[in-house]
Amino acid sequence: MAINLSKGQKIDLRKESGATLTSFCVGVNWGAIETKGFLGLTTNKQSVDLDLSCILIDDNNNLCDHIYSPLYRIDFLQQFGLPKGKLLSLDGALRHTGDDLEGDSGGDDGLDNEIITVDLSRIDPKVAKIFFFLNNVGKEDFSQIPYSKIRMYEGTPTQVKEVFASYNVSAESGYAGKKALIMGKLYKRNNEWKFDAIGDPTPDTFLGQTIHLILKSYL
């Protein structure tokens, strides 16, 4: 049975069988916003662009790698001292499926819109922490976005084998008015990887602000 994560909860990456979870997906799912049109006879759909990203931190608490959308403008990134976005970590252990600009427009299809696949066995030994976070490119806040949920599962981006843990973002009333979310972190302790469900919403309007906040307050 999947773990329904709560804010601040720490878990071991172990399955019910006792085996360690080493290869899995971190995914986020959401829907387009639906509003009623004239006299309620029509339905208007508004696309939602959430961005799932992560940064990798070494043993000395330095930013050593990143994964975020290549669609971010380089001039905006440079204002925060950040390089161009990319979808694959330097060690090949983490891979992003790509930027989804709309969300599910026809209802929940059961698959996540953006996914980062993780293979802990391939992660560079110098990496000590991996932070996952969400940014909303549009004007909406999380309370307006249908069925937004984060989960960790075994499988592939197109096939969910077994959900290990999930975190329901849309159910959190404290996320109203917030457009960014520091989801959680993988961290290494005694040579074993664990997960911390941070779940902190922030008022950030750009990914660079979120990364700076993590580096300043969460290491």
According to DSSP, the β-strands at 3-4 and 159-168 are: parallel
Q: Position of tokens 């802990």?
A: 120
Q: What is the pLDDT of residue 118?
A: 96
111 near 158, Cβ under 8 Å?
yes
88-124 residue pLDDT tens = 999 999 999 988 766 666 666 777 889 999 999 999 9
Return the amino acid letter for 51.
D
Q: What is the pLDDT of residue 144?
A: 74
CATH of 3-32+45-217, one of 3.20.20.80, 3.10.20.30, 2.60.60.30, 3.40.50.10790: 2.60.60.30
Please name the helix (run of DSSP H) or strand (run of DSSP E) that holds residue 12, with its range, or none. Answer: strand 10-12
Rounded Cα distance between 48 and 63, Å, is 29
Q: What is the pLDDT of residue 14?
A: 76
Q: Give the length of the chain.
A: 219
Q: What is the pLDDT of residue 147?
A: 67
Q: What is the pLDDT of residue 28?
A: 86
Q: What is the pLDDT of residue 42?
A: 64
Return the amino acid letter for 157.
P
Q: What is the pLDDT of residue 2?
A: 66
Classify residue 45 as exposed, middle or buried by CB count within 10 Å of its CB (0-12, 13-18, 19+): middle
Rounded Cα distance between 83 and 123, Å, is 21
Give whole-number Cα distances, 15 to 11, 132, 158, in Å.
11, 21, 21
Q: What is the pLDDT of residue 178?
A: 84
**Which residues make beta-bridge pairs with 54?**
67, 132
Rounded Cα distance between 131 and 198, Å, is 9
Regions in the chain scoring below 50 on pLDDT: none
Q: What is the pLDDT of residue 155?
A: 87
